[in-house]
Amino acid sequence: MTMADVPEDLVRGLGLDTQNAATIGQVLGTGSIAEATVREDGTMEATVRIKEDSISWDPAILVLPRGGDLELTVINDDKNTHACLLPSNGDQKFLWLLNHSKGRARINLDGPGYYWYSSPGGNDEGRGLTAAIVVQGEVPPEARLDRPPQPRPTKGDNS
């Protein structure tokens, strides 16, 4: 569950995280969270998949520790054909995903910040096949402003 400060049973009870329940599609921002792993050479790797009849990406939020190169394994476990359009510096990366197929994507992203990606096929985006890649970290020290450390918003500010 990825809606902050919302009880998980409320999300499930309302059917927000399910296809054709509360509404037609699964509401964006619901779903699982996973972290990418970092190989010894610094390349990050992770797997995202579409489970059968979910029409959503699992994980719905993939967290990277920093910007850089990411190798993604992309799996379609669904009994329908989908696609994947990922952000990457240079050009977006496109992968066509037949029923029960597995492919790969190499992407490069700046950090920090988060990116949406989706399946651009048919009505996939709206039904829930839109997910996020969250890149953590700070900009390089040389790009920061020459000034004393400044206060940032805290969790308490959001309550």
Partner 1 sequence: MTAEYIDAGEAIDHGALSAVKGTAPRTSNVDYERLRTARSEPDNWMTYFGAYDGQRYSLLDQINTENVRRIGPAWIFQAGMSGHIAGASTYAFEACPLVVDGIMYVTGWDGWFWCLDAATGKELWRYKHAVPFDVSLCCGNVNRGCAVANGRVYFVTPNAQLVCLDATNGDKIFQKTIGDVRAGESASLAPTVIKDTLITGSAGGEFGVRGHVDCWDLETGEHRWRTYMVPKPGEPGGDTWPDDEAWARGGGNHWCTGTYDPELNLYYAGTGNPAPDFDGDVRPGDNLYTDSVVALDVDTGEIRWHYQFTPHDLWDYDSTMEMTLFERDGKKLLGHFDKNGYFFVLDRTNGELQHVSPFVDRIDWGVITRDGKVTPRKYPDKEGDPVHFYPGPAGAKEWTHAAYHPEHDMFYVPVADVGATATRRRREFKEGMPYWGAAVQVDIDDMAGSISAFDSHGEEKWRHRLDHPMAASVLATAGDLVFAGTPTGEFLALHAETGEKLWEFQCGSGHHSSPSTYTVDGKQYIVVPVGWGGWLEGIIPGMLGAGHGSALIAFALPD
Binding site for partner 1 (CB under 8 A): 72, 74-76, 84-110, 112-118, 120, 130, 132, 135, 138-140, 142-148, 150-153, 157
Q: How far is the CB of 13 from partner 1 (least distance, A)?
A: 29
Q: How far is the CB of 23 from partner 1 (least distance, A)?
A: 20
Question: Smaller CB distance to partner 1: residue 20 or 123?
Answer: 123
Q: How far is the CB of 121 from partner 1 (least distance, A)?
A: 12
Q: How far is the CB of 123 from partner 1 (least distance, A)?
A: 15
Q: How far is the CB of 62 from partner 1 (least distance, A)?
A: 14
Question: Smaller CB distance to partner 1: residue 9 or 142?
Answer: 142
Question: Smaller CB distance to partner 1: residue 23 or 99?
Answer: 99
Spatial CB neighbours of 64, under 8 Å, sequence gap ≥ 6: 35, 36, 44, 46, 70, 109, 111, 133, 134, 135, 136
How far apart CA 29 and CA 39 sit, in angstroms, is 28
Spatial CB neighbours of 113, under 8 Å, sequence gap ≥ 6: 135
Pick from 70, 3, 6: which is nearest to 36 by CA?
A: 70
Question: Smaller CB distance to partner 1: residue 16 or 72?
Answer: 72
Question: Smaller CB distance to partner 1: residue 6 or 75?
Answer: 75
Count the Cβ atoms, other than its own, within 10 Å of residue 8.
Answer: 11
Q: Is the bond leading into 65 cis (omega within 30 degrees of zero)?
A: no
Q: Is the bond leading into 59 cis (omega within 30 degrees of zero)?
A: yes
Degrees, nearest 5: CA angle 33-34-39: 165
